[in-house]
Structure 1
Amino acid sequence: MTLLRLLMLIACLATALPAHAHDGIVVVVVRHAEKDDDDKVDPSLAGSGEVRAQALAETLAGARLDLAIATQYRRTRQTAEPAASAAGIPVTLRPVDAANAATHAGDLARELRALPPGSTALVVGHSNTVPGIVEALSGKPAMPMPETEYDRYTVVLLDADGAARVITSRY
């Protein structure tokens, strides 16, 4: 999907948000952008990843972000920072490690479902956490994410009655 089509989708969602402003929560879930090879444990974003993070921020500019969540790793924080900065909010860290890997997605989904109605959140994860987060939020199976995939985004619309709608595309 081209960036223009993604922008049009987000614009449509942003236009539709007032109808859901009193009863729904919007969660955008993405994997971190392309990583550099500067550190084997905690790499930063590559130049192409920085471009992708900025494109994400531009795409979400009309979405009125209330919360941006990333893991403790530089690549997720650096992916979330441009969008969070544009929204005037900090990036909130939700670490994931061996101790909480089994419960991370469910814990995060509970936290997101407890946001006030009308909230919009960005969640930046990893190829091995994004599908689980989407599934925990929506209750629907999510496609696995290969290590080489950086361009998928998923919008989960959480209705007040607990129902979830999922829109998955590429940017």
Structure 2
Amino acid sequence: MKKLAITAAVAVGLSLAAGAASAQTVVLVRHAEKADASRDPVLSEAGVRRAGELDATFGDHGPELVLVSPFQRTFLTAGPTIDAFDSEMKVVALDQGVDAHVAAVVTEVRSRPRDALVLVVGHSNTVPLIARALGVEAADMPECEYDRMTRIDLNEAAPTVHVTRYGAPADC
């Protein structure tokens, strides 16, 4: 089963790398599994495994920028990808509320060059809102869902979206 998940991740990575030069590309994921229900938990063992699989989804072309929230579970999820590609990481504040956070993420994404590849690691309540703010339909995310990966290509005509899964299937 693990081999299948890694093979799928590599296939997704090839598609991510192939489209990166033609349009600004944003990849949205929720942080990996949490160790507990505290306010700012670390990742569980399953979360650490998932975080370690995220970089493989990008193939040879990783994100130039990774946007995270101030919660450690987001930058712990992004860490292996940041290390693998020497990506810039930027923390986007949440202290002004979710709407301001979403607006700040969208502003940061849109300020990047046309051929940029940006990874956003968010939360179950922010990932769908960010996708919608970028102009695509996105389903709400249940609390148990950790494996959704949303790729949005922001081209001149209209954004296109591709939703896939990465790592082990979530227990939803």
For the aligned pair, the TM-score class normalised by the smaller chain equals: 0.7 to 0.9
Q: Which runs of 5+ in 1 are unaligned?
A: none
Please point out which of 151, 164, 168 is paired with 2:163: 168
TM-score (norm 1): 0.88
Query: CA–CA distance in 2 between the matches of 1:57 and 1:80?
Result: 8
| Partners of 1:81 and 1:91 within 8 A in 2 | no
**2:17 aligned to which of 14, 17, 27:** 14
Q: Secondary structure at the match of 1:33?
A: coil
Alignment gaps of 5+ in structure 2: 167-172
TM-score for both structures, normalised by structure 2 = 0.87
Which digits, 9 at most, give the CA deviation of each residue in 1:50-69, with x for residues without a partner? 10001001222423310011
Which residue pairs with 2:128 in the alignment? Answer: 131
Task: Count how many residue pairs are aligned between Structure 1 and Structure 2.
Answer: 163
Equivalent residue runs for 1:12-161 within 5 Å: 12-18=15-21, 20=22, 24-37=23-36, 40-97=38-95, 99-137=96-134, 139-159=135-155, 161=156
Aligned-CA RMSD value: 1.7
One-letter amino acid of the counterpart of residue 36, structure 1: A
| Aligned partner of residue 103 in structure 1, secondary structure | helix
**Which secondary structure state, in structure 2, belongs to the residue aligned with residue 140 of structure 1?**
coil
After superposition, give the CA deviation of every residue in 1:16-71 in whole Å (9 maximum; x if it has no partner). Answer: 434x1xxx21111000000102x711000011101000100122242331001110
CA contact (8 A) 1:61 1:83 kept: no
